[in-house]
Chain A
Amino acid sequence: MFESIVAILIVVGAIFTLIGSIGLYKLPDFYMRLHGPTKASTLGVGSILIASAIYFSSKTDSVSTHEILITVFLFITAPVSAHLMAKAALHIKIKEKDSTN
């Protein structure tokens, strides 16, 4: 029971992480690329971390909670770093839809 939940969470998390990187790779300009990693990758990693928490909680007697801490940390920091990167890009005047390569 627990094992199948863990397996599903792991695969879903890996798919979201991959989608984040695909977004980073294929979208045409910097501001659009920002969307992939900040949302998809964060959720993907969060899902894998929660899978790890469930796995180690079911494996051992004690409850494993510190993975949740990384998840919360990532969900708080991802928007902050995205905001700062966007601000830096605006500051050095990167244009929209210009740098297609």
Chain B
Amino acid sequence: MLEIAIPIAFVFISIAFVLSTIRLIKGPSVPDRILALDTLYINSIALLVLLGIHLESALYFESALLIALMGFVGTIALSKYLLRGDIVE
């Protein structure tokens, strides 16, 4: 069952990646691009975890955790930059 489910999920998430990337390129405004980046990092967590299940390795968890932490900080920093024109106050 997993042999069917994992490729299907890979395809779906790859399409999600493409759609987010199109939004990232198209814009039209800066918050749209930040949102697209935010979606991209969430999708990449899904892809990494799936890869971990596929390869039966728990190693990918660490990178998924790091992406979750850094992605959140990055989104906050970019939004703060738009709000204040400065990241560190």
Whether A and B touch (Cβ < 8 Å) is answered with yes
Chain A residues packing against B (C-beta within 8 Å): 3-4, 6-8, 10-11, 13-15, 17-18, 20-22, 24-25, 30, 33-34, 36-37, 41-42, 44-45, 48-49, 51-52, 55-56, 59, 64, 66-67, 69-70, 73-74, 77-78, 80-81, 84-85, 87-89, 91-92, 94, 99, 101
CA distance A87 to B34 in the complex (A): 13
Q: 1/0 per residue B42-61: CB within 8 Å of A?
A: 11011001101100101001
Question: In the complex, how many angstroms separate the beta carbon of B6 from the nearest chain A beta carbon?
Answer: 7
For A55, the closest partner residue in chain B by CB is B53
Within B13-51, the residues touching A (CB, 8 Å) are: 13, 15-17, 19-20, 22-23, 26, 28-32, 34-36, 38-39, 42-43, 45-46, 49-50
